[in-house]
Amino acid sequence: MRVVSETATARSLTPDFAASTKATSAGDDRVWRVDVPGMNEAIPLVRHWVRLLLVDEPELAEAFELIVSEYGTNALWHSASGRPGGRIEVELCVGADQVQLVVRDDGPSALGSDRIPDDFDEHGRGLVLADAYADAVGHWDAPGGHAAWALINR
Kindly report, residue by residue over 79-91, the tens digit of the pLDDT: 999 999 999 999 9
Coil, strand or helix at 43:
helix
Q: How confident is the model at residue 110 (pLDDT cuts 50, 70, 90)?
A: low
Q: Which of 17-21, 27-31, 114-118 has the lowest mean pLDDT?
A: 17-21
What percentage of residues in the chain have a pLDDT greater than 70?
Answer: 71
Judged against a pLDDT cut of 90, whether residue 144 lies above it is answered with no
pLDDT at 125: 65
Judged against a pLDDT cut of 70, whether residue 120 lies above it is answered with no
Q: How far apart are CA 125 and CA 122, in angstroms?
A: 8
Fold of 2-11+24-112+119-153: Heat Shock Protein 90 (3.30.565)
Q: How confident is the model at residue 134 (pLDDT cuts 50, 70, 90)?
A: very high
Amino acid, res. 57: E
Query: Domains of the chain: which residue ranges?
Result: 2-11+24-112+119-153
Write down the mean pLDDT value for the chain: 80
Judged against a pLDDT cut of 60, whether residue 2 lies above it is answered with no
What are the Cα distances from residue 136, in Å, to 75, 80, 89, 150?
19, 26, 20, 6
Closest CA to 127 of 77, 58, 60: 77
Greater model confidence, 49 or 7: 49
Sequence-distant (6+) residues with CB within 8 A of 57 are none
Average pLDDT on 136-144 reads 88
pLDDT at 74: 94
pTM over 0.85: no
